[in-house]
Structure 1
Amino acid sequence: MTGRTSNACAACKYQRRKCKPECQLSQYFPSHQPSVFKNVHKLFGVKNVLSILKNIQNPNQKDDAMTSIIYEANMRKMFPVRGCCHLIDAYSAEVKLLEEELRAVRSQIEFYRNQPYNQHPTPPSTSSLWFDSQAMTPPSTYLQSYQTDGLQGAGIVQNHEDVHPTPDFIDDNSNQFYI
């Protein structure tokens, strides 16, 4: 082999072939990331990945599809049994808890809106939240009892910046964000 193989993408290096300029996988598997290609190859196979790329007409969708494939393969490497499903389940549970929290807060807002302006209303009991005219278990015990893979719900109002930081800057060209 010639010195040209050092510039080969990770896919071509793995398959021990010359990386041609029209190689469809070179933009997704740079030569310095062979483990990423190995994960994708193990889970999907080269033929299936090329078939997926062939069936997608829009280049932006190809990039999104490959990002998804690479993510799933890397998560499957980290979590062989469920892949990224455990994260999806944890985030779905978190969304459900946040929806319940939002309903409770909206109920409290509605309670205060319905009070006359000159009256000082007695707020709902602090030991329970008012949700659809029924008392709900207080979040301090209900939400703190929820825990899945390190994600933990906490009181009625939770600072989600700790779990999901808001990006300070988003680079539209590379679809990356900086915190």
Structure 2
Amino acid sequence: MASTSSYSSSPCAACKFLRRKCMPDCIFAPYFPPEEPQKFANVHKIFGASNVSKLLNEVPPHQREDAVNSLAYEAEARIKDPVYGCVGAISVLQRQVMRLQKELDATNADLFRYTCNEMPTTQPAGAGIRRINEAAAGASSYPQSSVYYYNPSPWNNDLCGDGYQRGGDNNM
């Protein structure tokens, strides 16, 4: 459980906020300790004390702390973004992941093109794994200590960056 406050000496954050006496069987006390008044203030502002009380009474005791943490997270997100709440934050993060994945794919494609242009023509065609030198361009050998491997993204089979899909499993 969250907190073990003494109900007679210090009311929980909910009862203090609502200006009522905190009883020993207070449904809010274990989840809204007196040290965290803003947590209950946010939840109350978004969901209302009555609704939170009803929800906590319907949820099994072993899941109440998770429910309160979810309510507190959503309430804080709704205060920051009243329209979208935590869905807005998730959407921003998903767009960021997609942008970074595209950047990674472009970098891998550049790396692959660089590897194809720098490979000696006598090198036998490997099983899709290419070695490149970490040192400056123009080095004539590929030391084993500085080997990188190109592993294309499973989301992008455009290995040469020219818009055509080659090889790989296209069923992803």
Q: What's the offset of the Cα at 1:26?
A: 1.0
Q: Tell me, yes or no, if structure 1 residue 71 matches structure 2 residue 73.
A: yes
Q: 1 CA distance for matches of 2:106 and 2:161?
A: 10
Q: 2 CA distance for matches of 1:106 and 1:82?
A: 35
Q: 2 CA distance for matches of 1:86 and 1:8?
A: 35
Q: Tell me, yes or no, if structure 1 residue 27 matches structure 2 residue 30.
A: yes
Matches within 5 A, 1:90-109: 90-100=92-102
Which amino acid in the other structure matches residue 135 of structure 1? G
Residue in structure 2 matched with residue 89 of structure 1 by the alignment? 91
Q: What's the offset of the Cα at 1:101?
A: 5.9
Identity %: 35
Q: 1:115 aligns with which of 125, 131, 147?
A: 125
Q: What's the offset of the Cα at 1:115?
A: 3.3
Q: Which protein is bigger by CA-based radius of gyration?
A: 2
Q: Which runs of 5+ in 1 are unaligned?
A: 123-128, 138-179
Please tell me whether the aligned partners of residues 5 and 13 of structure 1 are also in contact (alpha carbons under 8 angstroms).
no
Q: 2 CA distance for matches of 1:63 and 1:98?
A: 35
Which amino acid in the other structure matches residue 45 of structure 1? G
Q: Tell me, yes or no, if structure 1 residue 37 matches structure 2 residue 40.
A: yes
Q: Which runs of 5+ in 2 are unaligned?
A: 1-6, 117-123, 133-151, 164-172
Distance 1:115 1:87, change over 3 A: farther
Could you say which structure has the greater relative contact order, defined with CA pairs below 8 angstroms and 6 or more residues apart? 2
For residues 138-164 of structure 1, the C-alpha deviation after alignment (integer angstroms, 9 at most, x for no partner) is xxxxxxxxxxxxxxxxxxxxxxxxxxx
Q: How many corresponding residue pairs?
A: 124
Residue in structure 1 matched with residue 145 of structure 2 by the alignment? none
Residue in structure 2 matched with residue 174 of structure 1 by the alignment? none
Q: What's the offset of the Cα at 1:93?
A: 1.3
Distance 1:105 1:115, change over 3 A: farther
TM-score relative to the length of structure 1: 0.53
Distance 1:104 1:25, change over 3 A: same
